[in-house]
Amino acid sequence: MKTYEGDILHVYNKSIARYGIFKDFTNSQRFIDVLDYYNNKEPHKSFSNFLIANPDFSCPSLLYNKNSSLVKFISYCIMPDHYHLVIKILEDNLLSKYISDVENSFTKYFNFKFDRKGPLWQSSYKYVKIKTNEQLLHVTRYVHLNPTTSFLVEKPEDWIFSSYKSFITDKSYLDYATEISIKEPLHYKKFVEDQIDYQRKLKMIKKLIFD
């Protein structure tokens, strides 16, 4: 499917066989660094070659885009075996290449690091187009509650590889994220955390039904 400037999407993918590709801190940071590096309309070399000349590179934040960005990150969460990205398209029809560059780069890094071969992702990435502000709020809440829903942490802000902490501590980010209608960190925190128990129960019900 084609994507166009201004589209807001929930993009996600899982590792093959639910393999814990992001359980390691350095692997998660590497994925975020790759997401940042390839989010660039300017010609670029591979991330691994870039690191040869810039070995100390580390993405400071995904949430503030550059002038050359292909997408604007609205929210994200990197889980042990999958990822969620809520993004706004800034360039027509470049999403597929962007995600392909990211996933292929991470696969090469992971396979080399762990001396393995073969695919790393369960399938091609998927996305859902977000059509309303209400839908966007609910999707960001779902994304931010992933770590607590899976009982990885008690508080969603304790999950390092997520945008949630910025939402509830950095008023300037909510001002910058014009797509998000809730502008007070405490109001957004309440909006999200009031649903922790419900989302956990919903996941348990689904597990009972489908497992």
pLDDT cut 90: percent of the chain above it: 87
**56 lies in a domain?**
yes
**113 lies in a domain?**
yes
For residue 166, the domain's CATH number is 3.30.70.1290
The number of domains in the chain is: 1
Closest CA to 130 of 7, 19, 44, 24: 7
For 175, the domain range is: 8-210
**159 lies in a domain?**
yes
**Residue 13 is encoded by which pair of tokens?**
């993918």
**2 lies in a domain?**
no
**E strand intervals along the chain:** 8-14, 71-78, 82-89, 126-130
Identify the three-state secondary structure at position 50: helix
Q: What is the pTM of this model?
A: 0.94
**66 lies in a domain?**
yes
**125 lies in a domain?**
yes
Q: What is the pLDDT of residues 156-203, one digit of tens each?
A: 999 999 999 999 999 999 999 999 999 999 999 999 999 999 898 888
**1 lies in a domain?**
no
**34 lies in a domain?**
yes
